[in-house]
Structure 1
Amino acid sequence: MPHTTPRQKFQSSTVRRSRDIPYETPLDWIHDKRRRHEEGGRAEDALAVLALGQALVKAGQAGQGEALYDALVRGATWREVALALGCRPEAARQMLREWAKDQYSEYEGVQLRFTVEEYRAALALTDLADTERGPTTDATEGTR
């Protein structure tokens, strides 16, 4: 009996809802499966395209806050960040505020990523003018 790889198992699985796709599924597997369903002509194929597309969107958004923070601490301006995101600087600032709050939160009594000082420093970045570059230091370069 031939061995079925995890990729083969995923490719042969039925997807109708985004929750049918395990979180840890590699993006290239999702993309390949979506492309196959785009060629189908049934309602089931259209539903799979929607679900797989949603999984790709969620995966893409998952790292946006951290990438935004990294860009700022490495010297990007709010205007540059907003252009990269395709939004206005204030919308980008709000994304950072929400992401920083998530990093500072506690989960079941365990401090997640940011200390109070790191949280305040992240929020201070939102006070920079649209074209102002934040202070980059050895402590922030290459971290996070």
Structure 2
Amino acid sequence: MTDFEHWKALQIRRPSDIPVATPLSWQADRASEHAMRIFDTSLPADFPCSVERGTAQDAVAELALRESIRRDVESGRGTRLHTALELGATWAEVAAALDISPDDARALLRQWADGQHHLYVSDQERGIERPIGFTPDQHAAVIALTERSDDEGQTAP
């Protein structure tokens, strides 16, 4: 059975039923399938075309999938913001993309960088051989990005 076939066969009842590395596109497609069946429940009984009507299980699966998507998108926000800045985007551009102020975007990056540094420190304290997250130097480099002016970009590497 392929990964995709396995994915399609999974019973989804909560976000934790969705494997961590499941592509967002797979999750969105599956949420749409459940949503369509739920929508079809509103069609009249004598609807001229054959439809597959949704169930409570479809509604629960759609909720779980949408929550998983929301979490995945939210957790990747800091990474994507950091990447945009490293590739030369300005704070004004990043803030516009997030529909927030440049100062709020800076706060978001600081919070994310602090979390990445905390992961690194926690792993080190637990004796993990290859800690994940940001070393002190990496953390400082990311925090330094917050000092740029709103319209100052960086030449991409």
Judged with a 3 Å threshold, the aligned counterparts in structure 2 of structure 1 residues 72 and 26 are, in CA distance, closer, same or farther, namely closer
Q: Deviations over 1:88-138 (max 9, x none)?
A: 2122111111221122232124443433222122112212222233x54xx
* Map of 1:96 onto structure 2: 109
Once residues 130 and 34 of structure 1 are traced to their aligned partners in structure 2, the CA distance between those partners, rounded to angstroms, is 38
Name which of 142, 145, 148 aligns with 1:122: 142
Q: How many residues align?
A: 134
Tell me which structure has the larger Cα radius of gyration. Answer: 2
1:38 Cα deviation from its structure 2 partner: 0.9
User: C-alpha deviations, 1:61-96, integer Å up to 9, x for none?
Assistant: 333212211222232211100111122212211111
- Kindly provide the amino acid, as one letter, of the partner of residue 86 in structure 2: V
Residue of structure 2 aligned with 1:10, choices 7, 18, 25: 7
Per the TM alignment, residue 9 of structure 1 is displaced from its structure 2 partner at its CA by 3.0
Q: 1:25 to 1:73 in 2, by over 3 A?
A: closer
1:123-142 mapped onto 2 (5 Å cutoff) = 123-133=143-153, 135-136=154-155, 141=157
- Match of residue 70 from structure 1: 83
Aligned residue for 1:94, secondary structure, equals helix
1:48 aligned residue: 61
Partner secondary structure for residue 146 of structure 2:
helix
2:19 pairs with 1:22: yes
Q: Equivalent residue of 1:39, what SS?
A: helix
Q: Distance in 2 between matches of 1:38 and 1:118?
A: 43
- 2:68 and 2:113 map into 1 onto residues whose CA distance is 24
RMSD: 2.2
Aligned to 1:57: 70
Partner SS, residue 112 of structure 1: coil
**Matched residue SS, 1:22:** coil
* AA in 2 matched with 1:48: A
TM-score, normalization by structure 1: 0.78
Structure 1: stretches of 5+ with no match in the other structure: none
Deviation at residue 58 of structure 1 after TM alignment:
2.1
Residues 77/39 of structure 1: CA separation in 2 closer, same or farther (3 Å cut)? same
1:51 CA displacement: 0.8
Gaps of 5+ in 2: 38-53
TM-score (norm 2): 0.72
